């Protein structure tokens, strides 16, 4: 049975989490309340819902270091953190978010957060002005960058009398996210998958760049899904605004040359290389100084390295997967590209795909050609990963 820790901080929505816990069937649930939460709800209601004792304090009463050392008594936050398959904080107050973002460990909940290696799902809920406060938003961004999964609050009437963003996300939505995070398949266990994602950025001068419209969503979906299916994943990402996938080693790069360098370093470990980045086709020899305003000037674009083509020259046993973004003759051009770059699988798609969540894709391998209409990037990611299971 999977173990979930539900951390509850003292937001007014804390009573709703009793329903959330009751909706989670087939899990062993341990609840940690912050001390402040005890001013709003009773421990016993969470004990009834979770069928387990609720923890609040870091230190056990009437025991000292000898009990821990000699009698091998469990240290609560470590043993809870170790056995967790997932940790949820709902509602997450502005305070708890600030503490976690800054590495505080001054109560049982924050200490357990630092000690666990399980994915952590944070469901903030607060007054609209608190939510929009720049410091809270910076803390949220910090958590996202660190790999925490955030379910944003929703718009609506707030308990404080305001209307705006701040309501705890719908419980069904939280429940579904929990199920997807704990429904871990293991069919990619033992495989190392190297993935590139996002655009690359080429400098014209210190302040100007050329890039493309890639959001990075495809590569990030692939990385997250592959990690959830047990693979060891290395993600090499151009600049994006996306939350880092948890359980994935993410390497940030800027230019195509940097991406190529990083791919070359990591390809030796990879069983599969998925090139989902939209690598800029051209680069510029950048000016060291800012180019002065002038009526016109000619920008000389040089061909960038074709990362997948270079890697395919020494293919070895690594499976290669790439994308073909075409405007016409989709299948014909994709098959040509697949052959040229010795790919095992190619996913053909049209340019509308670049910044959207859903699109049409054609998945071509040596054995199959399958068309997917208006499919989400998350779902096509699963289909692509199915191709590399064996």
Ligand X SMILES: Cc1cc2nc3c(=O)[nH]c(=O)nc-3n(C[C@H](O)[C@H](O)[C@H](O)COP(=O)(O)O)c2cc1C
266 to 195, 237, 241, 258, 279: CA distances (angstroms): 10, 13, 24, 12, 17
- DSSP calls for 12-38: GGGGHHHHHHHH-TTEEEEEEE-GGGG
Q: What sign does the dihedral 152-154-160-164 (CA atoms) show?
A: positive
Pick between residue 34 and residue 221 the one whose CB is nearest to ligand X.
Answer: 34
Question: What does the binding site for ligand X look like in residue numbers (CB under 6 A)?
Answer: 9-13, 34, 36-37, 91, 93-96, 125-126, 130
Q: For residue 91, is the peptide bond before it cis, meaning its omega torsion is within 30 degrees of 0?
A: yes
Pick between residue 94 and residue 222 the one whose CB is nearest to ligand X.
Answer: 94
Could you tell me which of 210, 271, 197 has the C-alpha nearest to residue 241? 197
Residue listed under structure tokens 């959207």: 356
Pick between residue 42 and residue 329 the one whose CB is nearest to ligand X.
Answer: 42
Pick between residue 63 and residue 114 the one whose CB is nearest to ligand X.
Answer: 114
Residue 182, CB half-sphere, CA atoms under 13 Å: how many? 23
Pick between residue 97 and residue 275 the one whose CB is nearest to ligand X.
Answer: 97
Decide if 160 is catalytic.
yes
Instruction: Write out the E strands in the chain.
Output: 2-8, 27-33, 86-92, 120-124, 149-150, 154-157, 163-167, 192-197, 202-203, 209-210, 232-237, 249-252, 272-275, 282-283, 302-303, 319-325, 345-349, 358-365, 369-376
User: Which residues form the catalytic set?
Assistant: 160
């Amino acid at each position: 049975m999977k173990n979930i820790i539900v951390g509850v901080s003292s937001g007014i929505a804390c009573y709703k989490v009793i329903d959330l816990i009751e909706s989670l069937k087939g899990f062993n649930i341990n609840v940690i309340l912050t001390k402040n939460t005890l001013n709003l709800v009773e421990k016993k209601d969470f004990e009834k819902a979770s069928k387990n004792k609720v923890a609040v304090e870091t230190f056990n009463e009437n025991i000292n270091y000898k009990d821990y050392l000699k009698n091998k008594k469990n240290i609560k936050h470590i043993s809870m953190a170790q056995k967790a398959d997932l940790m949820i904080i709902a509602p997450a107050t502005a305070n708890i978010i600030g503490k976690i973002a800054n590495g505080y460990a001054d109560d049982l909940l924050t200490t357990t957060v630092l000690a666990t290696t399980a994915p952590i799902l944070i469901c903030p809920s607060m007054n609209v002005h608190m939510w929009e406060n720049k410091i809270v938003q910076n803390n949220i961004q910090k958590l996202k960058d660190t790999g925490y999964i955030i379910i944003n609050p929703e718009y609506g009437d707030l308990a404080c009398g305001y209307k705006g963003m701040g309501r705890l996300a719908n419980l069904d939505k939280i429940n579904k996210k929990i199920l997807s995070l704990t429904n871990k398949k293991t069919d990619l266990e033992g495989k190392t998958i190297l993935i590139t994602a996002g655009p690359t950025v080429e400098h014209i001068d210190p302040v100007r760049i050329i890039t493309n419209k890639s959001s990075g969503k495809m590569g990030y979906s692939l990385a997250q899904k592959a990690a959830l299916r047990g693979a060891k994943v290395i993600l090499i990402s151009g600049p994006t605004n996306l939350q880092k996938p948890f359980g994935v080693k993410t390497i940030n790069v800027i230019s195509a040359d940097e991406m190529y360098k990083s791919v070359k370093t990591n390809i030796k470990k990879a069983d599969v290389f998925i090139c989902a980045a939209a690598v800029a086709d051209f680069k510029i020899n950048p000016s060291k100084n800012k180019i002065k305003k002038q009526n016109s000037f000619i920008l000389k674009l040089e061909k960038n390295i074709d990362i997948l083509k270079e890697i395919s020259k020494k293919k070895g046993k690594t499976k290669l997967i790439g994308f073909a973004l075409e405007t016409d003759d989709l299948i014909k051009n994709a098959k040509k590209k697949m052959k040229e770059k010795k790919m095992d699988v190619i996913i053909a798609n049209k340019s509308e795909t670049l910044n959207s969540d859903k699109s049409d894709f054609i998945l071509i391998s040596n054995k199959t050609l399958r068309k997917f209409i208006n499919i989400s990037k998350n779902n096509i990611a699963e289909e692509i990963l199915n191709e590399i299971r064996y």
